Amino acid sequence: MIRTVETTPFADQKPGTSGLRKKVRHFQQPNYIQNFVQATFDSLGAHDGATLVLGGDGRYYNREVIQIVLRMAAANGFGRVLVGQGGILSTPAASNVIRQYGAFGGLILSASHNPGGPDEDFGIKYNIGNGGPAPEAITEAIYARSQVIDRYLTVDADDIDLDTVEETVIGGMTVQVIDPVADYAALMERLFDFDAIRALIASGFRLSFDAMSAVTGPYATEILGRRLGAGEGAILNGVPLPDFGGHHPDPNLVHAKALYDALMAPDAPDFGAASDGDGDRNLIIGRGIFITPSDSLAMLAANAHLAPGYAGGLKGIARSMPTSGAADRVAEALGIALYETPTGWKFFGTLLDAGLATICGEESAGTGSDHVREKDGLWAVLLWLNILAVRRQSVADIATEHWAKYGRNYYARHDYEGVDSAAADALMAALRGKLTELPGSTVNGLKIVSADDFAYIDPVDGSTSQKQGIRIGFDGGSRIVYRLSGTGTSGATLRVYLERYEPATGDLTQDTPVALADLIAAAAQIAGIAAHTGRNAPDVVT
What is the residue type of 286?
A: G
Task: In whole angstroms, give the CA distance from residue 410 to residue 508.
Answer: 9
Q: Which residue in 90, 112, 369, 478 is the catalytic one?
A: 112
The nearest distance, CB 308 to ligand G16, in angstroms, is 27
345 lines the binding site for ligand G16 (CB under 6 A)? yes
Which is nearer to ligand G16, 15 or 269 (by Cβ)? 15
| Closest of 300, 281, 293, 422 to residue 359, by C-alpha | 300
Answer yes or no: are the C-beta atoms of 326 and 409 closer than 8 Å: yes
In the bound state with ligand G16, the residue whose beta carbon lies nearer, of 17 and 303, is 17
407 binds ligand G16, rule: CB under 6 A: no
Q: Is 4 exposed, middle or buried (0-12, 13-18, 19+ CB in 10 A)?
A: exposed
Q: Considering beta carbons, is residue 54 or 196 the nearer one to ligand G16? A: 54
Alpha carbon distance 458, 144 (integer Å): 22
**Does the footprint of ligand G16 cover residue 358 (CB under 6 A)?**
no
Task: Indicate if 112 belongs to the active site.
Answer: yes
Q: Does 376 bind ligand G16 (CB under 6 A)?
A: no
Q: Which of 113, 329, 408, 532 binds ligand G16 (CB under 6 A)?
A: 113
Angle ∠(262,260,321) on CA atoms, nearest 5: 160
For residues 314 to 333, the per-residue mask of contacts with ligand G16, x marking binding by CB under 6 A and - elsewhere, is ------x-------------
- Give the residue with the Cβ less far from ligand G16, 76 or 292: 292
Which string of DSSP letters, residue by residue, matches 76-128? TT-SEEEEEEEEE--HHHHHHHHHHTT-SEEEEE--TTS--STTSEEEEEEE-
* Bridge-based pairing state of the strands 492-502 and 479-484: antiparallel
Q: What is the DSSP letter of 281?
A: B
Largest CA distance in the chain: 72
- As measured in angstroms, the least distance from the Cβ of 345 to ligand G16 is 4
Q: Does position 17 bind ligand G16 by CB under 6 A?
A: yes
Beta-bridged to residue 84, according to DSSP, are 178
Determine which residue in the list 218, 325, 344, 473 makes contact with ligand G16, applying CB under 6 A. Answer: 344
Cα–Cα distance list, 96 to 106, 143, 369 (Å) = 11, 26, 12
Stretch binding ligand G16 (CB under 6 A), from 173-181, 264-272, 343-351, 522-530: 343-351
Site string for ligand G16, 463-502 (x = CB under 6 A): ----------------------xxx-------x-------
Residue number, 298 or 389, with CB nearest to ligand G16: 298
Between 145 and 281, whose beta carbon lies closer to ligand G16? Answer: 281
Q: Which residues bind ligand G16 (CB under 6 A)?
A: 17-18, 112-113, 280-281, 320, 343-345, 362, 364, 366, 485-487, 495
Residues assigned a catalytic role: 112
